[in-house]
Structure 1
Amino acid sequence: MKMRLMLTALCGFVMLTPAVAQTPDLETIARASGMPEIPGLKMVWLAPWGEVGDAHPWRNIIVHQTEGPAGSARGGAEAQARNPTRRGVTVWVETDGTVYWAVPETMVTTHGDGANRNDNKYIDNGPTFHQVVRDNSIGVEFAGNYPDVTRRATEAQIAAWRILVKVLRARYRIPLDRVYAHNWIDFKDARYCEGCELATLARQWGE
């Protein structure tokens, strides 16, 4: 009887193994089209992905933070979906880690200020000055630093970012050193460094 139970369990394991082996890895998912399930992310698709070869040729990722209260990412993303070229970004991240893909990846949203920083305060601005701009950079907005702009992203946002940045980099073949904080490339609000912690984390996590 004991031997029969062991054989049954072994057969069950063997039958399950091919299914596990067929689970797509993150890079494969990142190059898909439609509205894929991304392990570890709660994605709300207001605009699905098309064929990756038809996407705008994104070369950089710019990390933004908005002075909105918790819960404001959905409203920002929905407004962006209605008017894709308004001031805003393609991807919005709520304080609970929910990610909203707001507009088609073929659209260029209005974000960034022309990469006008040239003081080398945070990074070498030689390669960025007037070069890391909205036309070649996909923007990600993290909501919830109101009323204290110095408030860091939530743990849920950081956990979502750890996966999201890998997805964006894999989808658009963006090198790690092309992940930028908004404050690294533009002169911004002097009260805090917008996006700096999140961009630094992305670079620390590495490949």
Structure 2
Amino acid sequence: MMMSRLVAAVLAAIALIAPAAATDAELAKLARASGTPDIRGLKIVWLAPWGDVEQAHAWRNIIVHQTEGPTGSARGGAEAQFKNPTRRGVMVWVETDGTVYWSVAENLVPTHTDGANRDDNKYIDNKPTYHQVVRDNSIGVEFAGNYPDVTTGPTAAQVAAWKILVQVLRARYGIPLDHVYAHNWIDYKDARYCEGCALATLARQWGE
């Protein structure tokens, strides 16, 4: 059931982004900009505008999170993060309608993940990630809206936004495709579902 919902979301996302997304060349150029660039296909609320990318923290990974907040909770989470950047949370939040909230300056490190302590190879080979993919080198992206059912997949609008957003993040910080991770791939999290796994898998498939 969850897979069928995901397939439906992907197909709907393709329909949403096909006419409006920026080209690869446009994305590559915009991804190195400063300020609050207008990226076609993305609606970004800039709580913390981009600075000089050369002065950004050395981000080497992207970790996909999903919060148990209801629809509409991404804004509140992002605003709280903006007020206290190093609190437990992430740099980028994505609402169910696809709106992206950039909440933290690029040189600051929010608190997310618990130390990359998964070493059981349940989802991926954890030898390269064990205690290596941590908050100090990883951008966290939080997708809101899986409340009250944590197994609820991302919306079509979130999938559409993610397809562009992950390209932007990778281009801006030079992050390899295989450095996009789900939270559950690198940390012990919630036994009820695999947090971020569908979105991280999609990102890797798109990159191929």
2:150 is the counterpart of 1:146: no
How many residues were matched structurally? 185
Which aligned pairs between 1:14-163 and structure 2 lie closer than 5 A?
Answer: 25-163=26-164
Highest Rg: 1 or 2?
A: 1
Q: CA deviation at 1:184?
A: 0.1
The residue aligned with 1:173 is 174
Secondary structure class of the residue paired with 1:25: helix
2:187 is the counterpart of 1:186: yes
Cα offsets for 1:90-137 (capped at 9, x unmatched): 000000000000010110000011000000111100000001000000
The residue aligned with 1:3 is none
The residue aligned with 1:18 is none
Paired with 1:26 and 1:187, the residues of 2 have a C-alpha distance of 34
Identity %: 80
Question: Structure 1 length normalisation: TM-score?
Answer: 0.88
- Give the 4+ runs in structure 1 shifted more than 2 A: none
Paired with 1:72 and 1:201, the residues of 2 have a C-alpha distance of 24
The residue aligned with 1:6 is none
Paired with 2:110 and 2:104, the residues of 1 have a C-alpha distance of 8
Paired with 1:62 and 1:187, the residues of 2 have a C-alpha distance of 13
Letter in 1 for 2:153: R
Bigger relative contact order (CA 8 A; separation at least 6): 2
Paired with 1:78 and 1:117, the residues of 2 have a C-alpha distance of 30
- CA-based RMSD: 1.1
Cα offsets for 1:142-192 (capped at 9, x unmatched): 000000000000000000000000000000000000000000000111000
Secondary structure class of the residue paired with 1:162: helix
Unaligned runs of 5+ in 1: 1-23
Cα offsets for 1:22-57 (capped at 9, x unmatched): xx6111000000000011000000000000000000
Paired with 2:54 and 2:40, the residues of 1 have a C-alpha distance of 23
Secondary structure class of the residue paired with 2:54: helix
Secondary structure class of the residue paired with 1:108: coil
Question: Structure 2 length normalisation: TM-score?
Answer: 0.88
